[in-house]
């Protein structure tokens, strides 16, 4: 039963003094038979009272306001969590019955939201891929693994080329992005076959140099498998999400699971910095002041239309090659 110590720092720096900051945080890990929270402490600028509630998808959500004038808002979550390995679905038993079961539940309340398809212009092209990748005798579990592998092999992991505002069309045309983009593409593929799929936010807790997504919040997808339940699938690393993945929240998409979001009165300009550190060693210290074990990563200075910027770079490179 691995135990992980995780520190998640979110820092907003404003261009001028602001006030009446109202924020929502989804930084409380899911608690169930496969994940226990041993300890958690939240340090927030101004020490506001955080009211918590459980949202429609079962996530613990915190809300707070800070009315005093301030130029920095810092949210520092420190937690200790244990995870347990979960068994995998049976691979190849009664595929026809499993598909029939999925057909019968598609209009049931727990699954409707996770079957709604977001249309984008590349959807017909992705439908062709889904039809090509599917074998007649596949079970939903086998399909989920194959789709995961497809995304991993056909999309390039490039930090900074997309943002939370990047559209599915941009990701599809670019064939690149980061974990949240890969999760969204995988969910579209699963939903095309009427397999309920949901977005998961959290952390990846491993020191393997081959795993992508360490040192930041991570995202993956979950597929609903008959006679099993929700199975985590990580297309960024082409693996099943198990005891090395700590879950924060689930939802239809990134917006449902955003770790921190809010509004404020004052100067419109601000900079957002985020850092995540994971320690699987001994000891866990709660400091009075936040410490930065890894450099904070600036994420708001990336252009909104980074896809267009990336394509301009590609075109410039092609022109240079032609001139040589």
CATH of the domain at 126: 3.10.620.30
The answer to the question of residue 319 being in a domain is no
Provide the pLDDT for residue 303. Answer: 38
One domain, residues 185 and 263 = no
Phi and psi angles of residue 84, each rounded to the nearest 5 degrees, phi first: -125, 145
Rounded distance between C-alpha atoms, residue 318 and residue 312, angstroms: 10
Tokens 């109202």 sit on residue: 22
Asked if residue 317 belongs to a domain, the reply is no
- 8-state DSSP, 35: E
What total of structural domains would you count in the chain? 2
pLDDT of residue 291: 30
119 part of a folded domain: yes
Q: Of 208, 225, 252, which one is at a domain's C-terminal end?
A: 252
* CATH number reported for the structural domain that contains residue 58 in this entry: 2.60.40.2250
What is residue 316's predicted lDDT score, i.e. its pLDDT? 60
Please tell me the distance from the alpha carbon of residue 241 to that of residue 222, in angstroms, as a whole number.
9
Higher pLDDT, 284 or 59: 59
Residues 230 and 272 in one domain: no
Closest by CA to 182, choosing from 159, 218, 151, 144, is 151
The predicted pLDDT at position 201 comes to: 96
Tell me: do 126 and 270 sit in the same domain: no
Q: Span 49-63, mean pLDDT? A: 96
Q: What number of CA atoms fall less than 13 Å from residue 305's CA on the CB side?
A: 4
Q: Token digits for 3?
A: 């135990």
By the 10 Å C-beta count (0-12 exposed, 13-18 middle, 19+ buried), 13 is classed as: middle
Report d(CA 65, CA 267) in Å as an integer.
Answer: 17
User: 207 and 119, same structural domain?
Assistant: yes
Is 178 a domain residue?
yes
User: Beta strand pairing status for 176-177 and 156-157?
Assistant: parallel
Cα 223 to Cα 144: distance, rounded to the nearest angstrom: 7
Which of the four pLDDT bands, split at 50, 70 and 90, describes residue 56? very high
* Structural domain includes residue 47: yes
103 and 215 assigned to the same domain: yes
Q: What is the pLDDT of residue 324?
A: 55
Flag whether 248 is in a domain: yes
Residue 174, pLDDT above cutoff 50? yes
How many CB atoms sit inside 10 A of residue 229's CB?
11
Check residue 213 and give its pLDDT: 62
Residue 313 has pLDDT above 90, yes or no: no
- Based on the fold, state whether residues 224 and 269 are members of the same structural domain: no
Among candidate residues 247, 281, 276, 264, the one with its CA nearest the CA of residue 75: 276
Query: Where do we find the tokens 């135990």?
Result: 3
Query: What is the DSSP code (8-state) at residue 32?
Result: B
38 shares a domain with 11: yes
User: Does a structural domain hold residue 313?
Assistant: no
- Is residue 299's pLDDT more than 80? no
| 190, 144 contact by CB (below 8 A) | yes
Q: Which long-range contacts (CB under 8 A, 24 or more apart) does 285-291 make?
A: 286/41, 286/78, 290/7, 290/9, 290/43, 290/74, 290/76, 291/7
Q: Which residues contact 50 (CB under 8 A, 6 or more apart)?
A: 25, 42, 44, 62, 63, 64
Q: What is the DSSP string of 49-80?
A: PPEEEE-TTS-EEEEEEE-S-EEEEEEEEEEE
Please indicate, yes or no, whether residues 247 and 185 belong to a single structural domain of this protein. Answer: yes
Q: What pLDDT is attached to residue 208?
A: 58
Question: Would 62 be classed as within a structural domain?
Answer: yes
Average pLDDT along the chain: 85
Same domain, 176 and 248: yes
- What pLDDT, on a 0 to 100 scale, did the predictor assign at position 296? 35
Cα 60 to Cα 50, 57, 294, 316, distances in angstroms: 12, 9, 27, 47
Same domain, 165 and 189: yes
pTM: 0.84
**Domain of 268, in residue numbers:** 3-83+257-306
Please tell me the predicted confidence (pLDDT) of residue 297. 38
Verify that 138 and 194 share a domain, yes or no: yes
Phi, psi (5° rounding) for residue 186? -60, -40
Q: Which residue has the higher pLDDT, 79 or 286?
A: 79
Cα–Cα distance list, 79 to 6, 22, 134, 283 (Å) = 5, 23, 41, 12
Strand 260-266, strand 60-66: pairing? unpaired
Q: Which two tokens stand for residue 181?
A: 């983009």
Q: Do 241 and 111 belong together in one domain?
A: yes
The per-residue pLDDT for 147 is 98
Residues 38-51 have a mean pLDDT of 96
């Amino acid at each position: 039963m691995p135990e992980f110590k995780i520190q998640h720092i979110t820092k907003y720096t404003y261009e001028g003094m602001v006030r009446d900051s109202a924020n929502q945080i989804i930084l409380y890990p899911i608690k169930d038979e496969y994940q226990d929270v041993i300890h958690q402490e939240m340090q927030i600028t101004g020490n506001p009272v955080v009211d918590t509630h459980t949202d429609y998808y079962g996530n613990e959500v915190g809300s707070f306001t800070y009315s005093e004038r301030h130029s920095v808002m810092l949210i520092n979550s420190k937690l200790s969590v244990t995870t347990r390995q979960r068994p995998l679905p049976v691979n190849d038993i009664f595929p026809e019955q499993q598909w029939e079961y999925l057909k019968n539940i598609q209009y049931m309340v727990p699954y409707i939201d996770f079957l709604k398809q977001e249309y984008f212009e590349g959807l017909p092209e992705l439908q062709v891929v889904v039809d090509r990748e599917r074998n007649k005798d596949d079970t939903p579990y086998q399909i989920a693994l194959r789709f995961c592998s497809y995304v991993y092999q056909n999309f390039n992991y490039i930090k900074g080329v997309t943002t939370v505002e990047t559209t599915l069309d941009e990701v599809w045309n670019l064939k690149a992005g980061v974990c949240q983009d890969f999760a969204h593409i995988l969910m579209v593929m699963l939903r095309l076959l009427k397999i309920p799929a949901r977005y998961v936010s959290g952390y990846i807790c491993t020191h393997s140099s081959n795993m992508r997504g360490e040192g930041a919040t991570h995202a993956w997808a979950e597929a609903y498998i008959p006679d099993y339940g929700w199975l985590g699938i990580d297309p960024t690393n082409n693996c099943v999400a198990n005891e090395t993945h700590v879950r924060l929240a689930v939802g239809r998409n990134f917006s449902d699971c955003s770790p921190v979001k809010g509004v404020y009165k004052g100067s419109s300009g601000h900079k957002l910095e985020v850092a995540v550190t994971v320690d699987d060693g001994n000891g866990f210290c709660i400091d009075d002041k936040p410490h930065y074990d890894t450099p904070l990563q600036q994420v708001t200075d990336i252009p909104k239309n980074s896809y267009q910027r990336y394509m301009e770079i590609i075109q410039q490179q092609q022109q240079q090659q032609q001139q040589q």
